[in-house]
């Protein structure tokens, strides 16, 4: 385990890319995304939402109730009482033993140690270490970027796609309208990987941590849990070249990229490092 962590650390010492766009070779970042997308097995829900979530008996049933609706819109339509009931139900659902369909070569239950390894790979990733190179004005935040990294690092290590999910909160949190992190199913239950906190934490800890962020005059902040393949809160679309790289082709012009090459650089480094998979224990 220490050897694996050392391998990750050795590949973490990068700085902001200074290569002129005109000198870039044909990129491998898009092909890496395409490969990872096949491994994610993401099946987005569509259709209309249901408006009562506190009666959901499982995480899958809960996500199905969202339909194809924006998570932010759902939070805006519900009463404070309904949101509180939903949040309490989520706290209960994540404590129910979770069954992941067995699949050869895939890890259904992550060890606590391995969840820490995935978290460490997020922390030392090039784009996380050089966050301000991509968020120069401090207006993007990149919680969705870090959630994407955690998802990809888990998938790259042969974690079963169904044992990786995203947890969201939506509502008026002063500077934020929503926040997201990736969580993995471990031998101690679901653990959230959020570098804002400093270590993998339980869902209860994560939700309690962000409670004080709510504007005191605003309505309740609502929690959601979805498949990890959902890219944003507004719809159920999966990761795409348009969303991540602002392009449909292998061409790459950094000056036109709203994220300043954040996802390009991450997927390129993911393709180059070839992190070894975790052992299927």
Q: How far apart are CA 269 and CA 153, in angstroms?
A: 11
Average pLDDT for the chain: 85
Q: Which residue has the higher pLDDT, 251 or 57?
A: 57
Does the residue 2 lie in any domain? no
Q: Which residue has the higher pLDDT, 223 or 176?
A: 223
| Domain range enclosing 53 | 30-273
Does the residue 24 lie in any domain? no
Least confident of 56-60, 121-125, 230-234, 266-270: 266-270
Does the residue 10 lie in any domain? no
Give the count of domains, the chain: 1
pLDDT (tens digit, 9 = 90+) per residue, 137-177? Answer: 888 999 999 999 999 999 999 999 999 999 999 999 988 99
pLDDT (tens digit, 9 = 90+) per residue, 89-118? Answer: 999 999 999 988 888 889 999 999 999 999
Does the residue 11 lie in any domain? no
Does the residue 23 lie in any domain? no
Does the residue 38 lie in any domain? yes
Does the residue 227 lie in any domain? yes
C-alpha to C-alpha distances, 230 to 1, 92, 216, 273, nearest whole angstrom = 30, 23, 29, 25
Does the residue 77 lie in any domain? yes
């Amino acid at each position: 385990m220490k050897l694996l962590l050392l391998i990750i650390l050795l590949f973490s010492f990068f700085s902001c890319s200074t290569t002129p766009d005109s000198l870039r070779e044909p990129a491998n970042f898009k092909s890496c995304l395409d490969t990872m997308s096949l491994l994610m097995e993401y099946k987005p829900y569509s259709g209309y939402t249901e408006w009562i979530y506190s009666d959901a008996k499982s995480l899958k049933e809960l996500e199905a109730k969202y339909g194809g609706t924006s998570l932010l819109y759902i939070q805006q339509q519900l009463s404070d009482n309904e949101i509180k009931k939903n949040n309490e139900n989520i706290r209960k659902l994540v404590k129910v033993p979770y069954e992941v369909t067995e699949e050869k070569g895939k890890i259904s239950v992550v060890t606590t140690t391995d969840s820490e390894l995935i978290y460490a790979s997020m922390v030392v990733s090039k784009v996380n270490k050089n966050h301000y190179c991509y968020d120069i004005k401090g207006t993007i935040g990149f919680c969705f970027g870090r959630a994407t990294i955690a998802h990809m690092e888990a998938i790259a290590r042969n974690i079963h796609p169904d044992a990786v999910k995203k947890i969201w909160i939506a509502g008026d949190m002063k500077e934020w309208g929503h926040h997201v992190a990736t969580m993995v199913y471990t031998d101690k239950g679901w653990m959230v990987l959020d570098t804002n906190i400093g270590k993998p934490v339980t869902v209860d800890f994560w939700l309690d941590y962000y409670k004080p962020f709510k504007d005191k005059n605003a309505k309740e902040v609502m929690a959601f849990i979805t498949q990890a393949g959902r890219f944003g809160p507004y719809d159920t679309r999966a990761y795409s070249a348009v969303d991540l790289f602002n392009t449909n082709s292998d061409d790459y012009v950094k000056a036109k990229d709203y994220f300043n090459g954040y996802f390009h650089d991450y997927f390129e480094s993911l393709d180059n490092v070839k992190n070894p998979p975790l052992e299927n224990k």
